[in-house]
Amino acid sequence: MEEVVLKVKGMMCKGCENRVENALKNIEGVEEVTANHNEEKVTVKTSKEVSREVLENKIEDIGYEVVKE
């Protein structure tokens, strides 16, 4: 299982966390998602190769900013 950690700006509450988690869980190959608005962090565990770009694009599509490191 692969783990990807993304820095995400714009999440303000538990509702934002749920929105991000639900959006990412709909991507094929994503097994587990944990979003934390206090740390501005989203951790994604995938069962198969899911590109970082696909995850970033989905987060940006729903209105949040992914900080590219």
Q: Is the pLDDT of residue 69 over 80?
A: no
Q: Is the pLDDT of residue 21 over 80?
A: yes
Q: 25: pLDDT confidence band, cut at 50, 70 and 90?
A: very high
Residue 4 near residue 43 (C-beta atoms within 8 A): yes
Q: Is the pLDDT of residue 59 over 80?
A: yes
Q: Is the pLDDT of residue 49 over 90?
A: no
Indicate the domain borders of the chain.
Answer: 2-67
Quote the pTM value: 0.94
Q: Which fold has domain 2-67?
A: Alpha-Beta Plaits (3.30.70)
